[in-house]
Amino acid sequence: MQYSLGIDAGGTFTDAVLIRDTDGAIVQKTKVITTYPDPLDGISRAIDELDKEYTRNVKLVSVSTTLSTNTILEDTGFPVAAILVGDYAIPQEGFPTPNYIMVNGGHTSNGEEAAPLDEEKVRNFALEVKDKVAAFAVSAFFSNRNSDHELRVKHIITELTGLPVVCGHELSQEVGAYDRAITAYLNAQLLPITHNFIQSILKDIHARGIEANLLMLKCDGSVIGMEEALERPIESIFSGPAASLVGASYLTKLDTCAMIDVGGTSTDVALIKNGVPELSEHGAIVGGWKTMVKAVRMETSATGGDSHVWISDRKFHVGPRRVIPLCRAAQQYPGFLKQLHESKSPSKKLLDENVQSTKYFVRTGFRPIGLTKSEEEIYDYILHTPVSYVDLFQKMKKHPSTYAIDNLIKKRLIQPIGFTPTDMLHVLGEMQKWDTEASIAGAEKLAKLLQLDKEEFCRQVKRKVARNMASALISYLIEGIPADIVQRILSAENFTRFKVETPVVLLGGPVWAFKEEMEKLIDAQFIVPENADVGNAAGALVGKGIKRVDILIKKHFAPITGEGVSNEELKEAKEVVEYFVFTPEGRKVFTDHVEAIAFATETGKKIVMDYMIAAGYCSNDVGIEVTRKDMVITEGEMPMESKIIVVGVGTSHIVMEKSCIPEYMRKKAFSFSKALDGSYSGK
C-alpha cells in the first residue's frame, strides 16, 4: 500500500496528513506548533508523530509553507543586485536594494530594439558588486515582447560571476517592466533560502527511509516539482490560503464553493469554481511590494484563534495583534497560572492594547540590535519567564513606555501573551486542548471590567468573531459594499439578511464552534467537513497541476519600402498588415491572421503540455482549454489585438493508481540543486 504525505507549515501550527493513494482517504493526521523563524523543526516534529508503518511507504510529499512570505515581510532574504534595462522611473519609495543600476537598452511594444544594450556598463557593475550579493535580477523594457536584452545580460553576468540570474520575462509575460523587476528581485532573494529549505526536507525524509518525490504548492493552488520550486520560489507566497481552498474542495468533494479558513492570526476567505481557484486580477502584494505573481484572490481579516482580546473605553476589542493564548502559556511556562491568579491589575485609566490585566511579555530569543535607551531598559527587565506591565512598573520604579513595548513586539524581541478566542472557547467548554483554568482566570478579570459574568463576556466575544468572519465573506463575494453597511445588515437592524447560493466550507482548528453563529448571520449552507482542522495540509497535497499561458497577437501596419515593388503598387498601397505573435519563446511575424491564431494556439498547447509532463503528469491526464479574446475597433474588421489563453489542468497525483512522475524529474532536481551548492557561501 502506498501513501502520500501533505504538510502545511502555517503561522501558528504545522499540520501533516497521510493520504492513501488507492482511494484518497486520510488515514492519519498530526498538528504541532510551528517553529519560528525556521519551520523545518516543526515539520520534522509533525512527521515524527506519524505512524512509521505508513511513512515508510510514502511515495509523494507535498509542502505548503509561509517561508517565502515571512522572508519578504521581514526583509531577511539574501542580498541581490538588480539591472534595469531601459529608461525606468523609480517610484518615491525607491527600489528595494541600493545595489542596482539602469542601463540603456530595451524594446518597444512591438518587440523591436528601442536602444542598443550598454553591455560595458553591465560588465562593470557585475564585477563591482559580485562579492556583495548572492544573485542578480534583470528586467528590461518590454522583455515580455522580446527577451533578447535580458538574456544577453544574463549571459554576461553568468560568465563573469557564476552567480544565479533571474530574468523578469521568466516569471511573467504581463506588461509592466518595473513590477517585473520587483518580482525578479524578490525571487532572486529567495533562491538560497528555498534551496536550503528543500534540501533540508529531502535530507529529513530520506533519513527516515522515505524515497518520495517532493512537490510544493504555489499561491494559485497548483503544485510544482522541485526544479521549478527551486527556480521560482516567489510563486509560493500566500500558498497557505491556496492550500486551504484546495483542501476545502477536496474534503467536501465540491468543485465550486466558498471557503472560510480561521487560522491563528487571521481569517482568510476565497472561492473555487469548477475545481480551479479564483485568482486575483492583479499581482500579489507582499511586504508592500507589488509583484506579478498570480495568487488566489482572497479577503483577509485580522481575526484568528490567537487574536488578542483586550479592553479599553469600557468595550472589548478583538485583534489585530496576535498573542500566545493564556491556556497555552500556562502549559508552556511553569508557575504562570499562579502568577495570573495573583497578579495585580493596572489602573483602568491606563488600559490600552499593551496594558491589560491579562497581558504578559516574554523574550523570543532574537538578538537585539539598535535599541533605543527606553527599549533597552524595558528589554533588560523582560526575561524568559512572563512579566506584566505592573511587574515592569514595580521593577523599574516608574511607568514603562508602552510605545517602547510596542516597538519591542514589532522587532520580534518580545512575544506577548494574552486572552484570545482560543481561551474563550476553553471557558465555554467548546475546546479542551490546553489549561482551561488559565482561560477562566483571564475571562474573569476582563469580564469584571465590563460588569459581566465570564460566560456572557465569552459569548459576546464569540459573536464578535463570527461577525468578523461573516463580514469577510460578504466583502469577498460582493466587492465594493462599505463595511458599515455590511455590519448593519449582519446585525439585522434593517430586517435584512445576506443569502449566499454557493456552499461555504469552514476550515480551521475549532471552526465548528462558530457554525451555528454563522448560520444566524447569513442564509447559506455552511459545511464543516471531517478533518477540517487539517484541510490546509490536505490541500498542500491534492493541488492540481495547473498551467496557464497567455499569447498576444497584435496587428501591425508596416510601411512598404519599395524593394521588389513596382511604382504602380506603391501608389496603391503605402503599408502592409502584419501580425506579431508574442510567445514566451520569442516573437513571430505573420501576414495572415488565421495563421497567427493557429500558431499561437498550438504554441500555447505545447508549452502547457511540456510543463505538465515535466511536472510528472501523463499526457492523457491533462485537460487543455483554449479561450480567445479579441479587441475590435470597427465592426467587421480584423481584431487589433487577440489574446489566446491556454489553460491545462492535470489530475491530482495522489489519485493515480500508477504514478506518472518520472524518475528523471528527481534526477533533474538533484542536478539543479547540486549546481547551486556553494553558490551562496560567504554571501
Q: Say what the pLDDT of residue 572 is.
A: 52
What are phi and psi for residue 24, nearest 5 degrees?
75, 15
Q: What is the DSSP string of 70-104?
A: HHHHHT-SPPEEEEEES-----TT--S-S-EEEES
Q: Say what the pLDDT of residue 675 is.
A: 35
Say how far apart CA 617 and CA 589 lie, in whole Å: 33
Say how far apart CA 464 and CA 303 lie, in whole Å: 10
Mean pLDDT by groups of 10 residues along the chain of 683 residues: 88 88 90 82 92 89 83 80 92 86 92 93 95 94 90 95 92 86 92 87 88 84 78 84 90 94 86 87 78 84 88 91 93 94 90 93 86 92 92 92 90 91 96 94 95 95 93 88 83 80 91 92 93 89 80 79 50 68 86 93 92 76 89 79 88 48 39 39 37
Angle in degrees, CA 207, 208, 211, rounded to 5 = 85
What confidence tens digit (pLDDT) does each residue in 454-466 have? Answer: 999 999 999 999 9
User: Could you give the 3-state DSSP secondary structure of residue 214?
Assistant: strand
Q: Say what the pLDDT of residue 449 is.
A: 94
Q: Please state, in angstroms and as integers, the Cα–Cα distance from residue 653 to each residue in 50, 61, 202, 209, 395, following that order.
A: 21, 10, 19, 21, 59
Task: Order across the sheet with 586-590: list the strands.
Answer: 586-590, 575-583, 545-559, 641-650, 622-631
Category of 80 on φ-ψ map: left (φ > 0), alpha (ψ -120 to 50) or beta: beta
Taken in order 16, 241, 359, 431, the sign of the CA dihedral is negative
Q: Which residue has the cell 519591542?
A: 408
User: Could you give the 3-state DSSP secondary structure of residue 37?
Assistant: coil
Q: Say what the pLDDT of residue 393 is.
A: 93
Q: Say what the pLDDT of residue 332 is.
A: 92
Taken in order 200, 205, 209, 213, the sign of the CA dihedral is negative
For the chain, the residue count is: 683
What are phi and psi for residue 590, nearest 5 degrees?
-130, 155
The grid coordinates listed for 114 are 528601442
What confidence tens digit (pLDDT) does each residue in 235-270 have? Answer: 888 888 888 999 999 999 999 999 999 888 788 899
Say how far apart CA 351 and CA 355 lie, in whole Å: 5
* Sequence letter at residue 319: G
Enumerate the H helices of 168-218 as residue ranges. Answer: 177-207
DSSP 8-state secondary structure symbol assigned to residue 79: P
Q: What is the dihedral of CA 672, 678, 682, 683, to 10 degrees?
A: -20
Do 11 and 169 meet the contact criterion of CB atoms below 8 Å apart? no
The grid coordinates listed for 538 are 490536505
Do 269 and 472 meet the contact criterion of CB atoms below 8 Å apart? yes
